[in-house]
């Protein structure tokens, strides 16, 4: 079996946000505009959280890319009344957009606050419409969405491997954020395969899960050698 997973090395992250832009372009995420963003309605599936250490002027910034953790025991799934979000056999928390009625219960129960909602119908005024990714649907208003681990790329990778009559090899499938990261801080692959790069990263002594004590069993592993991952108090 496959369990798709991601590892993010925070010691390599520079906070450049290339991954955020790549994610929006790959996944047809609507840009809501200045006014809506100010109201807290920006729709990034992946965000760079900034945490500051020290007193001005001796401040150091820590960056943390936060996306859907694709939890093994996801709090968002049981609360959805219509099965619009569910766990697929390869360990993804899949979203069925056509099934979603917009109760937003899943978003309330996500401890990472990574789910974003289409408050209005998406608008892609020309020429933005010509850069839409044909492999990804454009979501209607009133529907919840979130990081899919670039499920369309996973599908394409599996199709290609099937045509060539071989198994999917480690590194065949690269997510948009991973591909665009200039410091190679992100890796993606099968956590069930002990030889995959992501499995090796996950075994690092620097590895930890975000809010790990909730036991949501995330599919995203973070790596950091700093003391800051310990609670401040």
Partner 1 sequence: MTAESQPSAAVLDGQLLGRLDRRRPGLLVGSLASGALALVFIYCWGYQIANGIGVTGINRPVFWGFYIINFVFWIGISHAGTLISAILRVTKAEWRRPVTRSAEAITLFALAIGGLFPLIHLGRVAIFYYMIPYPNSRMLWPNFRSPLVWDIAAITTYIIGSALYLFLPLIPDAAVMRDRAAAGLRKRFYAVLALGWRGTAQQWHSLEWGIRILAVAIIPVAVSVHTIVSWDFAMTQTPGWKSTIFGPYFVVGAIFSGIAVLMIAMALLRRGLSLERFLTDRVFNNLGLLFVTMSLVWGYFTFAEHLTVWYSGDLFEKNVHHVLLHGDFAVPFWTMVVVNLVIPVAVLSFPRGRRPLPTALVGCGVLVGMWLERFLIVVPALSTPRLAYSIGDYMPSWVELGIMIGAVGVFACLYFTFTQLLPIVSVWEMREGWRHGGSGEAGDATSDAAATSGTAAAPVPGGGGA
Q: Which residues bind partner 1 (CB under 8 A)?
A: 36, 39-42, 47, 49-51, 66, 75, 78-83, 99-105, 107-109, 111-113, 115-121, 140-144, 211, 214, 231, 233
Cα pseudo-dihedral 116, 109, 205, 178, rounded to 10: -20
Contact 43, 30 (CB under 8 A): yes
Give me the least distance between CB of 82 and partner 1, in Å please. 4
Kindly tell me which of 63 and 197 has the beta carbon lying closer to partner 1. Answer: 63
CA 153, CA 25: separation in Å to the nearest integer? Answer: 13
Residue 185 structure tokens: 């801080």
The rounded distance, in Å, linking the Cα atoms of 18 and 226 is: 23
Q: By C-alpha distance, which of 157, 193, 185, 187 is closest to 172?
A: 157
Beta carbon nearer to partner 1, 142 or 157: 142
Q: How far is the CB of 56 from partner 1 (least distance, A)?
A: 19
DSSP label of 173: -
Beta strand ranges found along 58-185 (DSSP E): 60-66, 85-87, 93-95, 116-117, 144-145
**H or E element that contains 222:** strand 220-223
Of 161, 192, 170, nearest to 178 by C-alpha is 170
Quote the DSSP letter at residue 133: -
Q: Where are the alpha helices (DSSP H) in 173-222?
A: 176-180, 197-202
Closer residue to partner 1 in complex, CB, 108/155: 108
Give the shortest CB-15-to-partner 1 separation in angstroms.
13
141 or 225: whose CB is closer to partner 1?
A: 141
Shortest Cβ 110–partner 1 spacing (Å): 9
- In whole angstroms, how close is the CB of 103 to partner 1 at the nearest point? 6
In the complex with partner 1, the residue whose CB is nearer, 43 or 151, is: 43
Minimum distance of partner 1 from residue 233's CB (angstroms): 7
Choice between 23 and 191, CB closer to partner 1? 23
């Amino acid at each position: 079996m496959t369990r798709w997973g991601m590892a993010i090395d925070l010691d390599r992250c520079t906070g450049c946000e290339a991954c955020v832009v790549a994610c929006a372009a790959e996944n047809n995420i609507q840009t809501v505009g200045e006014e809506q963003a100010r109201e807290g309605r920006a729709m990034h599936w992946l965000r760079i959280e900034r945490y500051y250490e020290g007193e001005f002027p001796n401040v150091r910034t820590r960056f943390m890319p936060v996306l859907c953790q694709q939890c093994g025991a996801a709090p968002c799934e049981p609360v959805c009344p219509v099965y619009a979000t569910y766990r697929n056999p390869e360990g993804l928390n899949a979203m069925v957009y056509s099934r979603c009625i917009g109760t937003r219960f899943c978003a309330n129960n996500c401890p990472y606050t990574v789910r974003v909602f289409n408050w209005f119908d998406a608008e892609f005024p020309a020429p933005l419409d010509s850069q839409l990714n044909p492999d990804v649907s454009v979501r209607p208003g009133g529907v919840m969405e979130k990081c899919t681990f670039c499920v369309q790329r996973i599908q394409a990778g599996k199709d290609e491997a099937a045509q060539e009559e071989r198994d999917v090899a480690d590194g065949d499938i690269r997510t948009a954020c991973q591909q665009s990261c200039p410091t190679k801080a992100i890796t993606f692959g099968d956590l069930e395969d002990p030889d995959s790069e992501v499995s090796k990263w996950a075994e690092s002594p620097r590895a930890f899960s975000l809010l790990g004590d909730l036991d949501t069993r995330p599919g995203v592993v973070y790596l950091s050698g700093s003391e800051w991952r310990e609670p401040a108090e």
